[in-house]
Amino acid sequence: MFERKGEESVLRVGLEENWLGDLYHKTLVVGWPTFIAVSVGLYVLANILFALLYMLQPAGVETARPGHFLDYFFFSVQTLATVGYGKLTPISLYSNSIMTLESLSGILFNALVTGLGFARFSRPRARVLFSKVAVISRQDGKIILSVRLANKRRSTMLSADVEATFVHLVRSSEGKAIRRYDNLKLTRQHTPVFSLTFIAEHVLDETSPLYGATKASLVEGEAEVIITVTGLDNTTSQSVHASAAYGAENIIWNRRFVDVVGYTDDGYRVIDYRRFHETEMGEQPPPEVIAEKTIALA
């Protein structure tokens, strides 16, 4: 199982990516360490470039020692940050022109990095915890596929919708492999308030795309079950979403989730997240039921 973080875990071959044409999106999806490293690198590179420009006229900056790169570098830092300690001063037309260009560049750079940083920080994100595995077990006479979800935030998610999709390979009449997406009907797809846990359940009956499936057939068909959650964050009043995908190796047969909800002696509801991913043996259906349903729990 992998949780989707905005980009699919797929290698794209032959697709030309235009970084400059989609630079804003790229800066929003890269990790914070990369974003900070690139910002610092551009800042240092800009100061080095302007320091070299100042050194082209050594006498253009008063009190700067000719040939001492660090004097010009730190003068560039003071100019770019509009600090101006008064020790180093441009005194020629050339150095004042470079200083003007650098001041303008500093304003634009600071505005750009500040805007991008705020946009990254303020992006709405759903903090949804997905179970590490999906389970298939017999419950109340039915064979059910289940995935457990939980809201990791203390605030609630309003009007949350959960959808399940079965992705697998099928063969056309010409023998060509086609990747097919089938919606899985859940017993409950909507909750007005998602604050604690939620069990997404799909019944493997005659109308299910998984009807007659076995563990071997799921592996052969490179199948996976995708769970998506969308809702409204109660704090920011913004739409948020999250998703997770379960391959055939992460679909466990004849298992069910252990109960994680209980109550204290004082009557408070308790959720034990330490056991959130744990499963236990489910009820094994008799052989005649398996033959009737053409589903083998293995």
pLDDT, greater one: 277 or 82:
277
Structure confidence at residue 267 as a pLDDT band (50, 70, 90): confident
* Whole-number pLDDT of residue 166: 94
Per-residue confidence band for 14, with pLDDT thresholds at 50, 70 and 90: low
Calpha distance 111→124 (Å, rounded) = 22
Which numeric CATH code is attached to 17-122? 1.10.287.70
pTM for this structure?
0.69
- If you write DSSP's letter for every residue of 74-103 in order, what string do you get? HHHHHHHTT---SSSEE-SHHHHHHHHHHH
Question: What is the structure's pLDDT at 288?
Answer: 43
**Is residue 34 predicted with pLDDT exceeding 60?**
yes
Q: What is the pLDDT of residue 42?
A: 92
The string of DSSP codes covering 12-54 is --S----TGGGHHHHHHHS-HHHHHHHHHHHHHHHHHHHHHHH
Q: What is the CB neighbour count within 10 angstroms for residue 234?
A: 14
Query: Average of pLDDT values for 141-162?
Result: 89
Q: Which of these CATH numbers, 3.90.930.12, 2.40.50.140, 2.60.40.1400, 2.60.120.1030, describes 128-293?
A: 2.60.40.1400
Across 238-247, average pLDDT: 90
Three-class secondary structure of residue 108 per DSSP? helix
How do the domains of the chain map onto residue ranges?
17-122, 128-293
- Give the percent of the chain with pLDDT over 90: 36
204-218 confidence digits (pLDDT tens): 999 999 998 888 889
Most confident range, picked from 1-15, 206-220, 259-273: 206-220
HSE of 132, CA atoms in CB hemisphere, 13 A: 7
In this predicted model, what pLDDT tens digit does every residue of 41-99 receive, in sequence order? 999 999 999 999 999 988 888 888 888 899 999 999 988 888 877 788 888 899 999 99
From residue 241, give the alpha-carbon distance in Å to each of 17, 64, 118, 124. Answer: 26, 55, 20, 9
Min mean pLDDT across 3-12, 170-179, 210-219, 243-252 is at 3-12
- Note the pLDDT of residue 252: 92
Which tops the pLDDT comparison, 289 or 136? Answer: 136
Average pLDDT over residues 246-259: 91
Which range, of 153-162, 224-233, 246-255, averages the lowest pLDDT? 153-162
| Cβ atoms of 180 and 169 closer than 8 Å | yes
What pLDDT score does 294 carry? 40
